[in-house]
Amino acid sequence: MVGFILGLGDRHLQNILIDEKTAEVIHIDFGIAFEQGKIMPTPETVPFRLTREIVAPMGICGANGVFKKSCETTMTILRKHQDVITTILEVLLYDPLYIWKVIPQVDDENQNVNKLSK
């Protein structure tokens, strides 16, 4: 849910790991954030990926069991502390990381397009 709020993109099964002992979900590769996936050459159009491969290990209740309750609880906590989260994120608004800046470039047809800096 935090990844969704931060606009974390490039989420696929190779970037979402599950600890086999604790079942904790671990995200890796944070190169696409703050909804930059929407401006990629092939834009990401889904808010997050909840595939069969992720739902199957959740057991008989699937996404409607503990997962759903955990998402609801997480969103409630995030809303409660939105001022703190906003304050932290404002730092990146005024001093963004280089990789997260969008720069205009020219594509093959000499048209201006926005691309992520490399």
Q: What is the pLDDT of residues 17-27, one digit of tens each?
A: 888 888 788 88
Query: Using CA atoms, how far apart are residues 21 and 19, in angstroms rounded to an integer?
Result: 6
CATH code of 88's domain? 1.10.1070.11
For residue 103, the model assigns a pLDDT of: 55
- The total domain count for the chain is 1
* pTM of the full structure: 0.62
pLDDT reading at 105 higher than 60: no
User: What domain range is 104 assigned to?
Assistant: 2-116
The rounded percent of the chain whose pLDDT value lies above 70 is 81
Tell me which residue has tokens 């079942």.
Answer: 23
Instruction: Residue 33: name the closest of 6, 1, 5 by CA.
Output: 6
Query: Using CA atoms, how far apart are residues 40 and 10, in angstroms rounded to an integer?
Result: 10
pLDDT reading at 68 higher than 90: yes
Contact between 118 and 103 (Cβ < 8 Å): no
Q: What mean pLDDT is reported for the chain?
A: 77
